[in-house]
Structure 1
Amino acid sequence: MQLRGDERGEVLLDALLDGRSAPGLAARAAAGLDVPEQGRYAVVVLQRGAPAGQVMDADGLRFFRRVRAEGELVVVALGDRDPAGLATLMARWCPGPGGIGPVADGLAGLGTARRLAEVALLTCQPNEEGIVRLEERMPAALVVSQPELAARLVADVFGPLLALDPADRALLVRTLDAWLECGGSAGRAAGRLYCHRNTVLNRLRRLEQLTSRSLSRPRELVEMMLALDAFRLSASPP
C-alpha cells in the first residue's frame, strides 16, 4: 500500500511538472509524497545523456528524481535552505550540464519552475559542464527565450564578423569575451589571452569598426554583450 501511495504521488508530481492545474492536485501530490503543499521547491533539469549518479536526500533536503525521454528532472524540497548552494550539491551526482529554475513557493508552481529551469539549461554552451542557476544567466536566458530575435540580433550586430575568416572571427570574439570577463580591463584580458595589452586594444578597436558600435557607450555595449551570448549559443559557435 505504501508503494502504491508513492507511485500515485509520483504520477501527481509529473502532472504538476507538466504545468497541469486541477482542484486539489497539489494537495493530493503533497499527501502522496509526504511533503508540504506550500513548501519551497526547486526544479533541476539535466540534459539528456548527462551522466547522473544516484541522487539521495542530503543536507536536510529531499530529492525526487524523474527520468524522462527528453532528459532528467529533479525536484528538490528545500525547506528553509538557501538554494544558492544547490548547484554545487547537485554536481556531486552529475557533472551536467543542467539548469535550475527559481524557487517555487508551493507545489503548484513546479510547472513554471521546470520551464524556467529548461531555459537555464539552454544557456549552457556546447560541451559546457556544470549546473547553472537561472538567476546567474539572465541576459543569456533572455536571448535563448527568443531564438528568432536572437538570430536577427547576431545578424545585425555581428554581421560583418560572419564574413571574416573563421579563425579571424574566433580571435575577435574570444578577445571580446575575455575583456568582458575581466571587467573591461585590457591588461587582465591580455594576461588571459597571452598577448600584449595593446594587442587587446587593437582587436577591440577593430571589433568596434566592424560592428559600428562603441564599447564605451552603455546601450551599444549591451547590444554587443547580448549578441555575443546569442552567437556563442548558436548552432555554429566560433
Structure 2
Amino acid sequence: MDITLGNLLVLEPAIVAAGNSDVVPNGTRGCASRTVSWAVTARTTAPHLPPLRGGEVLIIPIRVTREVGQELPALLREAALRDVSAVIFAADDPRAGELHPKSTEIPVLQWNGELTADTETVINRLLTECRGNLYRLGTELERQLADASASHSGIETLAQVVSHSSGLPLTVVDPLGRRLISPAETANDADAPVNDRGGVDPFVTRALPSGAEVKLGPLWPVQFVLARFLIDRIAVAAIGALQRDDAARPRGSRRGEATARLLTANTGSARDQRAAALALGLDPDAVFFVVLSREAGESDLTRALSPLGTLHPAGGTNGQRTTLVAAQGRPPAESLSSRVVEVKRRWEKDHNPDGPSLALSAPAFGVARIAAAAKEAEFVASLQTQAQFARRAASFESLEDVGAMRLLYQLRDSNELRQFIAEALGPLETRDHRGTLRATLRAFLESGGSQVAASHKLGIHRNTLAYRLRRIGELVGRDVGDPGSWLTLHVAIRASEMLDLAANDG
C-alpha cells in the first residue's frame, strides 16, 4: 500500500514543497514518486538521526537545525544515504531557506505552522488511517469483483462495481481507441475535476495485454492514492470481463437479430442501448449510418458501402436488406458527406435506373441516434417507391435527394402539419379516393403551371386536364391557376403524400 510524497502533499495540506524541491502534489515523476513509510523526528543530540529502515519522512525542528548549525548539509546527505524519502522543516526556519538545491540530495518539504512534538504523531496517524482505508476498500472491491466474475458479468457490470465500491470513474478503451465504457457525464461542469495540478495527468491508467486500456478518472486530488492502489486489481478484472463479453457476443443469425433490435429502439434506456452496442462489439460513441437496399446482393452492398465503414447486417424481408454501418474513428462531418456522395455516385453508375435501390440515413452520432436514423432510411426508401422519384441512391441528409421532404419529415407527427393540409386541400383528400386529382395537381404544379407540359406528363388530353383542375379548384376553394397559391398547394400535396406513405408502411 504505497503512499508517495506526491500523495502526502495532498493528504496533509500543511506540508508543501520547498522552493528547491520538484515534488508535485500527486505527481508520478522524480521525487514525487518516492514511497513514504513513516514520519520520524531528528534528535537535538548526537546521533541526530533516529533508527531508519528507509522511506521515512524526517522531521527536523528549528531546535535541531540550531544545534547542528553548519553541519546541516552533511546531516541531509547522511539521511539520503539511509534512504530517507524527504525532510520536513518549519516554514519559518531560516536555515532551511538558505539551503541550495545542489547542496541536498533529498527532497525538502515545509510545514506551514509550528513544528511541535505532536507533528510526527499527526503524520503517522494520517498514514495509518489512509492505509487502513485502502485495505478496507481494496478488500471490499476484490469481493465484489469476485462475485461479478462468478456471475459471468461483463465490462458494464465491472464499471458499476468500481463506481459503487470506490466512487472512482472508470473508462475502458479498446485497441482502436474506442470507448467501450465510460463514466456518466458530470451533471455540473463546475463540479468536474480540473487538471490544474502543475501538469499532473488527472487519470491513472493501465494498458491490458490485448491493447485495450483501463483508465480511472478524471480524479480529484484526494482520489489518486486510492486509484493507484486499486488500478491493478481493476485491470485484471477488466481482462476477464472483456473476455466474457467477447464469448457472449451474438454470432450468426442471432447477431443480425440483435442488430435489428438496436435499430428499433427495443433495447430500453440509453444505458441499455450502450450495453446492447457493447454486446455486439460496437463502439457506442461511433458514427453510424442505417442503409436500406432493395434487390441488392450482399457482395454488391459490401463493395458499395465499405467506404463508409464496417457493415453489420440487420436482417430484411421481401427483397429488402437493412444494414448498420459503423464508421471508423471519428471522421469530421465534411469527410462523412464526401463519402456518402461517392457511395451514391458509384451506385448510380453501376446500376440501371430500374435496378436495385439504396436509401441512406443521415449520420447518427452515437448509438442513441440509431433508431432515429433507421426511420430516416425507411422514409427515403418509401420515397424511392414513388414513380416520380428518380434517384436509385439517395441520402436523407442530401437536399438534392429529398428536398423539402426533409423539412416536412420533421413535422410528420405534429397536429399543425395535419391542420395545414386540411386547410390547404379542403375535402380534396377525402373525395379523391383513387388519388387521381392529387396526382394531377402535383403534375400541374411541377410543370410550373403549364397545362401543355402537365397534360403531356400525365398522358391525358388538355381538356381532361382542364376539367380536373376546375374540379380541384372547387374542392380546395381557390383558383389553382393563381401562382400565388402554388406554394401552399405544393407543400400541402407533398405533405399529404408523405403521411400516406407513412400510413402504408405502418
The answer, yes or no, to whether TM exceeds 0.5 is yes
1:81 matched residue in structure 2: 336
2:428 counterpart (150, 153, 157): 157
User: Gaps (5+ residues) in structure 1?
Assistant: none
CA distance in 2, matches of 1:11, 1:194: 46
Aligned to 2:492: 223
Structure number with greater CO (CA < 8 Å, separation at least 6) is: 1
Counterpart in the other structure of 2:445: 180
Partner Cα separation in structure 2 for residue 228 and residue 111 of structure 1: 23
Q: How does 1:33-72 map to 2 (within 5 A)?
A: 33=282, 37-46=284-293, 50-54=294-298, 55-58=301-304, 60-61=307-308, 62-68=310-316, 72=321
Tell me, what secondary structure is at the counterpart of 1:22?
Answer: helix
Which piece of structure 1 moves more, 77-86 or 136-145?
136-145
Work out the percentage of aligned pairs sharing the same amino acid: 21
After TM superposition, give the deviation of residue 113 of structure 1 in Å: 0.9
Q: Which of 202, 205, 225 is equivalent to 2:470?
A: 205
Residue 56 of structure 1 deviates from its aligned partner by 1.1
SS state of the match for residue 67, structure 1? coil
Which residue type is aligned with residue 101 of structure 1? S
Superposed displacement of residue 138, structure 1: 3.1
Check 1:157–1:11 CA distance in 2 against 1; reply closer, same or farther (3 A cut): closer
Instruction: Decide which structure has the larger Cα Rg and report it.
Output: 2
Asked whether the 8 Å contact 1:123–1:140 carries over to 2, the reply is: no
Structure 1 residues 231 and 118: alpha-carbon distance in aligned structure 2, compared to 1, 3 A threshold: closer
Structure 2 portions without partners, runs of 5+? 1-242
TM-score by length of 1: 0.63
Displacement after TM superposition at 1:74 (Å): 0.8
Distance in 1 separating the partners of 2:378 and 2:356:
17
Asked if residue 120 in structure 1 is aligned to residue 366 in structure 2, the reply is no
Alpha-carbon distance between aligned partners in 2 of 1:117 and 1:134, rounded to the nearest angstrom: 7
Distance 1:220 1:84, change over 3 A: same
Task: Let me know the Cα RMSD of the aligned residues.
Answer: 4.6
Q: Secondary structure at the match of 1:44?
A: strand
Asked if the contact 1:12/1:25 (under 8 Å) is kept, the reply is no
How many correspondences in the alignment? Answer: 220
Pick which of 220-229 and 100-109 moved more. 220-229
Match of 2:362 in 1: 102
Distance 1:234 1:75 in 2: 25
**Structure 1: distance between partners of 2:342 and 2:375:** 21
What secondary structure, in the 3-state scheme, does the structure 1 residue paired with 2:496 have?
helix
Amino acid at match of 1:138: R
- 1:144-185 deviations in whole A, cap 9, x for unaligned? 758xx59x95883333434xxx6xx73x44432322333444
- Deviations along 1:126-148, whole A, 9 cap, x unmatched? 788945444513367468758xx
Comparing 126-135 with 212-221, which one deviates more in the overlay? Answer: 126-135
